[in-house]
Structure 1
């Protein structure tokens, strides 16, 4: 049997409401030489039956059923099962426009020094309507993407479900790492950037569905915490030292980071970066992120350091977002922990 040119990597967990739209958009691609490997990751809403129905009708669709193991385990399983030289990511609630695969594979075959290419996206709501301020512009060139990855402000320069990656590179870096749950894509971009160039096409070839229940809304603190550690691990690699997170199954708690990295100051740096990252996430700022910010303020007061700017503006933001208790707690912490002169 001839191997396909593209393996579509689709992990599904309870996406029944949108799954048929996502699958139809893949099967309608103008570039049809692909296999779609879908992992049903313990769905309980009928997603498994939908996948099986498509597999029965189209031989390009292959379904693997498993108990719920999470996105990282599912994607690594698909990588191991893939038969194609290119792997295209896709989520079960998004819609790929018909020319997506054709344009991405043409780019990669014309640019052998690039190992990954994403696309611009257009945001849609849960009901499929265009989202207000829906056009998201990601950097186009390898240089701009590398610059964005070097920033301490989390904001991925690539949309994970839009990317197509050379499989050999994905295997060479070890796929997705279990410890970086909720920011597994960001950690992957950092590792790939050390081996290859990456780009985004200027065309909007993916309709990306935004939802209040998606990971980027529910796990803001974990995302910023993991991303800060991933950036520090990258610095270790670039400076010729071992990556301390290699082999981790989970990320260590904040108080263990100095020991994990073998030097003092790491925990304080991560705390400052996470504080900076959650300033525009009111739920996190007023909830699980508040103790971390208070600890950051105490650190700064005791060391006489300048604290993360923008915290008083965050108080006002909490008031505007109807979180008066969080605003009062943050304001009190700011007043109690003013830097020593």
Structure 2
């Protein structure tokens, strides 16, 4: 007799995650929503990960597990996606913890909002705010993005979701593909690609996942999550957005004339974006010509028919810029975009 098709497939890749794995698995098995299968992919672990998975398989028929040669998180996640039977997919990571109502709330939301393809949740930061203040501020920032419009217009700043909080429709994988492999943040790339193709994303206001911050978290140590690889990955998507949303008669100016900002912004030129100049507040930089483009002050924003792309370091700098732009009557998405 064939097993009935579940409503949700939970997919979790894991590599050498024995220390935290049971907590993550137990949090899924304790969900109030019970009509799911739990696909756990052991990415060639060398610790007791596979043994733990096998023990869960023996005691709960909803758990399906298998192992592959060590290939990285994107390949392992794709291996899990290839096994799903449900029309909804929930992602989970072995470091984290899902609260009991997580799946129930996300399933209800997607059933009630057929126009939404992907839904995340707010998350609780599970690290030490004193020693990991930057990561904690990033979590706080993601928790401010709830509506499809906010997520869409701010998606070029940073990844707008905690990956293990997401649930999406299986048809998106079928239509637009799964995770890309290589030196890139596979989750962020997936979201940017899908949104560039018209997928709408939202976030539940409840904190339904504890997003832990262990020292070996991939986003801390993985080469694919380096700052340079983030900008290389998102530049073509940002360039595509600029081509489609900025009027041809508007000049593109980059806010931020420091070396790092320039290097990141110049990646856009590989995708056909013409940069007219740099804008900065440092009087030592104003008037200089860098890469053939003059550095001017913020007055250029009012004097020129232009659109500004901001490459600034840190949320504080972006907040200060937004205060200035709003005071001048400029609108995010219409007159400027935040790209860092």
What is the TM-score with the length of structure 1 in the denominator? Answer: 0.68
Structure 1 residue 177 corresponds to structure 2 residue 166: no
Q: CA deviation at 1:235?
A: 4.7
Write the distance in 2 (CA, Å) between the matches of 1:55 and 1:223.
36
Matched residues in 1 for 2:118 and 2:312: separation? 35
Q: CA deviation at 1:14?
A: 0.8
Structure 2 partner of 1:140: 146
Partner of 2:292: 303
- Indicate how the Cα distance of structure 1 residues 164 and 303 shifts in structure 2: closer, same or farther if over 3 A, else same: same
DSSP-derived class of the 2:117 partner? strand
CA RMSD, Structure 1 to Structure 2 (Å):
3.4
Q: Answer with 93-102 or 204-213: which moved more.
A: 204-213
Aligned pairs for 1:113-152 within 5 A: 113-125=115-127, 136=140, 137-149=143-155, 151=156
- Three-state SS of the structure 1 residue aligned to 2:52 is helix
Distance in 1 separating the partners of 2:313 and 2:61: 55
Q: Is residue 2:102 matched to residue 1:100?
A: yes
Contact 1:138–1:157 at 8 Å: present in 2 too?
A: no
Rate the CA distance shift 1:33–1:264 in 2: closer, same or farther, 3 A. Answer: closer
Partner residue of 2:83? 81
Structure showing the higher helix proportion among its residues:
1
Within the candidate set 233, 236, 240, 2:236 is matched to 233
Which residue matches 1:204?
207
Of 40, 58, 61, 1:59 maps to 61
How many residues were matched structurally? 261
Whole-angstrom CA distance in 1 between matches of 2:168 and 2:208 = 16
Deviations 1:257-283 (A, max 9, x none): 98x9476989xx9xx9xxxxxxxxxxx
- Gaps of at least 5 residues in structure 1 are 241-253, 273-298, 312-341
Secondary structure at the aligned position of 1:29 is classed as coil
Structure 1 residues 229 and 309, CA gap change in structure 2 (3 angstroms): closer
Judge conservation of contact 2:162–2:211 (CA < 8 Å) in 1: no
Shift of 1:196: 1.9
TM-score by length of 2: 0.68
Secondary structure at the aligned position of 2:149 is classed as helix
Ranges in structure 2 where 5+ consecutive residues have no aligned partner: 245-262, 279-287, 297-310, 315-340
